[in-house]
Chains A and B, each alone.
Chain A
Amino acid sequence: MSKKHKISLSEDELILSLRNREKIAIEALYDMYSASLYGVISRIVIDTAIAEDVLQEAFVKIWHSFSSYSTEKGRLFTWMVNIARNLAIDKIRSKDFKNQNKNQEIENNVTSIDEQRNTAYKPELVGVKDLVQTLKPEQKSIIDLIYFKGYTHVEAADELGIPLGTIKTRLRMGIQQLRKHFN
C-alpha cells in the first residue's frame, strides 16, 4: 500500500493555520496526529467501527472548539489526546454501548478476545518492544491504564491493589524513564 504524501507542519505553523480556519490545517492535523489519537482511542474502544466513529467525533470537536485551546496551557497534542480519550470513555460508559457489549455473541468472542488482548498482529506495535524493556512492567501497566485505558489514578490503584501514593510514584518514575528513553 502506497503511503500518500502526508502533510506535516511545525506545531506553531499548524496552530496558526488552525486559528485561521485553513483547510490545509485540518488535513495536516489529521496526517500528523490521527494515528497517535487512534492508538489511544482503539485501546479504550475495542470495536473498530465505534473507534472510528470516536476518532471522527474527536476531530470534529477539535476543529470546532479550537478557539478554547491556548499554547499557554500546554502542547497541542496533550489537549487533543484529552479530548479524544474523554470521548472514548464517554462512549464506552454510554448506555447504548454497555447494552451492546452485554449482547456480544458467543461465536464472535474469539475475535473480540483476540482484539482485546491485542493478539491480532499489529505491525505498528513492533517498535514498542524495546520500549517495553526501558519501562518496568509495574510502571508500564500504570501508564497504560491511565493513558490508554482512561482509568483515573484512583481507579488504577483499586484495579492493581496498590496504595495511591505508590501509584503516583510509579507513574512519575515511569514517565522519567520515558523521558530518558526519548532523549
Chain B
Amino acid sequence: MEEIKAYIETGILELYVLGDVTPDEKLQVEAMALKHPAIKAELDAIERSMELYAQENAIEPAENLRSRILGSTLTNLGDDNNFTAAPSHQESDSYDDEDNVTALPVRTGNNFYKYAFAASVALLIASTIALLSVYNRLQDTNGQLLSLQLQNQHFTNRVNLMNRELSVFRDPSFKLLKLQGTAKNPTMAVTLAFSAAKKKVMIDMSNVKLPQNDKDHQYQLWALVGGKPVDLGVFDATKDSTDMKEMKSIALADAFAVTLEPKGGSINPTMDQMMVLGKF
C-alpha cells in the first residue's frame, strides 16, 4: 500500500493524464492501473478534474463550424483508412455571428500590395540596369560607326584621288614631264602632267621633292613660252599631300620651272631662286 501511495506521489499519474509521458511510462501507468484499483481511482479523479477544468476554460467554436465538421466526418464514414487532411478553411465562412470567435483582419490584400510593390521596385531596378547597359552599348556602337565612317570617307577620298591620277595617266593627250633640280639643287624634282589639247597643267603632289616652304614663301610654277615666263600659279610643298594639283591653264609651253617666291607669287620669277627646270 505504501508502495502505491509513493507511486501516486511521484506525480506520474498527472503527467499521464496531461499526455506528457514517454510510451514506456504510458504502458507502465496503464499496467499499474490494471493491477491496483487505488491507482485506477486516482487516475479517474485526476481525469475528471482536468476534464472539468477544460470545461471551465472551454471556448465555443463558431456556429457554422458544427455542420462543416460533422459533414467532413460523415462524408468519410465507412472509410476508416481515410485520414486525409481536413478541407482547407473557406474564405466564405462568416464570422459575423455574435460568438466568441474574433476574426483577424484579412491579410491577403495587404500582402498583395506589398508583393506587388516589391515586384515593381525590382522590375524598375532591373529595367534601369538593362537600359544603362543598352545605352552604353549604343554609345560604343555609335563610336565605332563614326570611326568606320571616317575611315570609309578616307578611303573614298583616296579612291577618288587615285581615279583622278589614273585618268590623267591614262589620257594619251597628257605628257609627263620631270622637272630636274638645277645645278644648285640636284636632289630636287617635280613631276607634272601637261595636255596641250586640254590646256591643262597638273602637278603630281605626291612626287614633289622640294624642301618644305615656310609660311612667308610659296613655290610658283612658270611656263616658258617663246623664252618668256608665264605665271601658272603657286603651291605649297607639304609632306602629306597626295593630290594632282591643277594649275592655271596654258596651251603651249617650251619648258616649265619652279621658283621660290614670296607668299602669293610674283609677276616675274626670281631667277636665282629657281629650283627645278624641265623642257620638252
Contact = CB atoms under 8 A, between A and B. Distances in A.
B60 A35 contact: yes
Given A27-B70, A61-B83, A64-B83, A48 B51 contact: no
Contacts of A31: 66
A53 B86 contact: yes
B57 A148 contact: yes
Nearest to A182: B52
Nearest to B85: A57
B46 interface: yes
A52 B89 contact: yes
B49 to A, nearest CB: 4
Interface string B72-92: 111011101011011111000
A38 B102 contact: no
A108 B11 contact: no
Contact of A75 (B14, B51, B56, B70): B51
Given A59-B73, A168-B15, A124 B100 contact: yes
Chain A: interface secondary structure? helix
A183 to B, nearest CB: 9
A161 interface: no
B11 A172 contact: yes
B23 interface: no
B97 A171 contact: no
Interface string A5-49: 000000000000000010100110011001111111011000111
A154 to B, nearest CB: 9
B49 A179 contact: yes
A82 to B, nearest CB: 4
Contact of A47 (B44, B69, B104): B104
B58 A38 contact: yes
A169 interface: yes
A152 interface: yes
Interface residues of A, number: 70
A120 B15 CA distance: 31
B61 A35 contact: yes
Contact of A38 (B15, B61, B103): B61
Contacts of A122: 59, 100
B54 A50 contact: no
B216 to A, nearest CB: 87
A178 B60 contact: no
B188 to A, nearest CB: 93
B86 A147 contact: no
A36 B50 CA distance: 11
B65 interface: yes
Nearest to A179: B49
Contact of B105 (A55, A111, A124, A175): A111
Nearest to B71: A56
Nearest to A67: B80
Contacts of B76: 60, 63-64
A31 B60 CA distance: 10
A59 B10 CA distance: 33
A100 B20 CA distance: 27
Interface in A83-123: 85-86, 105, 107-108, 111-112, 115, 120, 122-123
A35 B82 CA distance: 25
B94 interface: no
Given A42-B59, A147-B50, A153-B20, 19 more contacts: A36-B55, A39-B57, A43-B57, A48-B103, A52-B89, A52-B101, A56-B68, A59-B72, A59-B73, A60-B69, A105-B110, A105-B111, A125-B57, A125-B59, A147-B54, A168-B10, A168-B15, A178-B50, A179-B45
Interface of A: 1, 21, 23, 26-27, 30-31, 34-40, 42-43, 47-50, 52-53, 55-57, 59-61, 63-64, 67, 72-75, 77-78, 81-82, 85-86, 105, 107-108, 111-112, 115, 120, 122-125, 127-128, 131, 143, 146-148, 152-153, 168-169, 171-172, 175, 178-179, 181-182
27 contacts: A1-B99, A30-B66, A31-B66, A34-B66, A36-B58, A42-B59, A52-B89, A55-B65, A55-B69, A56-B68, A56-B87, A57-B86, A59-B73, A74-B17, A78-B51, A108-B105, A123-B100, A128-B56, A147-B54, A148-B57, A171-B14, A171-B15, A172-B14, A175-B49, A175-B50, A179-B46, A179-B48
